[in-house]
Amino acid sequence: MESIEIGLWVSGFLLLLVLLGMRVAFAAAMAGLVGLVWIFWNKFGYDPSRFLKAVTIAVKTAGQVPHSKVASQALSLIPTFILIGYLAYYAGLTKALFEAAKRWVGWLPGGLAVSTVFATAGFAAVSGASVATAAVFARIAIPEMLKVGYDKRFAAGVVAAGGTLASLIPPSAILVIYAIIVEQDVGKLLLAGFIPGAFSAVIYGALIVGLALVLPKFGPPVRGFTWKQRFASIPPAFPIFFVVLIIVLFIYNPFGGDAWGTPTEGGALGAFVVFLMAVYRGMRWSQFKDALLETAKLSAMIFTIIWGVLIYVRFLGFADLPGAFSDWITSLHQPPMMTLILILLAYAVLGMFMDAIGMLLLTLPVVYPAIMALNGGEMVSAADSAFGMSGPMCAIWFGILVVKMAEFCLITPPIGLNCFVVAGVRPDLSVQDVFRGVTPFFVADAVTIGLLIAFPWIVLWLPSLA
């Protein structure tokens, strides 16, 4: 049997395990190990006496993966980014952000919902986890919206959708994972997420205002704040911008010359600064311990997924499935842009059954080489490319698109993790309520993705300056 056929059979086995409910990390590790055994035993001609040898080689090959791949300095960004978010919550920065947003844009139709979206975007700039963002604002924003008469389902949907912005706005754990998988510059990818993330927040806000204008009772505005009260709300929220500035300066020096440090150093310094703010604002030992424990739990979950999936990725390399898929994609007789759109639609479907990180880890080793081949290769110039951009710029652009699709998957039924988190924090809401409330934001995400495809400069302008 050819290696490609083994790759297809094992990939089908993996999908079956996932559909049956097995965790992605364990399903991928099991499928990868089975596939490696099959590959090596196939090379031995299925000789029964050499089966144990095939198993031994497969186990050694799989065993080398977790340390060799995860002992990457770039991955140390993940726990520091997550810790920043939890410490910012205990420092009271989330409440300060929401209060500032409410005073400045609450007068708009649907103003409290718009305030929630902008506040989640601001919190996303210091939190690398969408789940944490959704959980925090489910406690802060939903009660405020219910007080002024918002439908509880829509209020929950605003928080669940707003929480997804943490996937795109740096510091973003998913962007770091993407950069490591495809071996691209972490700093440039993080820079590329700023404008599309802010753009997504604006699209969400415009959708809310439009709904409130069409349905007057949909989102009553909040008025009565004086200019003095508005300006007074800025200083308590200012530390958020200070932390963002630190991280940006360590990724990209706007004053010219080399960056001041690495993204890893920026993340560590950002965590330290937020820690000092939290202590200054009265964080207790129990709260600090909770922040560390939650960071450890979420980091361990992410790293476990990475370990398991990388074993499967190692098997894919032996099966040469990525190369075969790239050849097939480039042989299609249709416009490259159509192929890209079909791949993104496939992500939308796949995201209904898998979590965002697992989905990207499983698919990128196959899909990314195909997209790069479709554009003309890793080193193609913009003039000779299919999408009108060089190889490195295409890698960044595609990364933002797939991470935006990962955001989309965080609110799609039946797996939408953010919806489950919001329902878990709010006992008065069912998961079905949250899924109903988040439905309008599917349209906003579709519009955002379409504009990012049509106008790549939205993604590429900032990293092109670095």
Instruction: Convert the pLDDT of each residue in 389-448 to its tens digit.
Output: 999 999 999 999 999 988 888 888 877 778 888 888 888 888 889 999 999 999 999 999
Across 162-166, 176-180, 295-299, the highest mean pLDDT is recorded for 162-166
- Report whether pLDDT(370) > 70: yes
Give the pLDDT score at 71.
67
What 288-297 contacts at long range (C-beta under 8 Å, 24+ apart), as own/partner pairs, is 288/90, 290/86, 290/90, 291/83, 291/86, 291/87, 291/89, 291/90, 292/83, 294/82, 294/86, 294/132, 295/79, 295/82, 295/83, 295/86, 296/79
Instruction: Convert the pLDDT of each residue in 107-127 to its tens digit.
Output: 888 889 999 999 998 888 777
**Can you read off the two tokens belonging to residue 240?**
């958020």
Give the pLDDT score at 212.
87
Peptide bond into 171 cis (omega under 30): yes
Domain boundaries, the chain: 1-71, 74-297
Specify the range with the lowest mean pLDDT, choosing from 11-15, 353-357, 361-365: 353-357
Which spans in 24-72 are helix H?
A: 24-43, 51-63, 65-70
Q: How far apart are CA 462 and CA 311, in angstroms?
A: 35
Give the pLDDT score at 246.
78
Structure pTM? 0.84
Residue 124 near residue 94, CB atoms below 8 Å: no
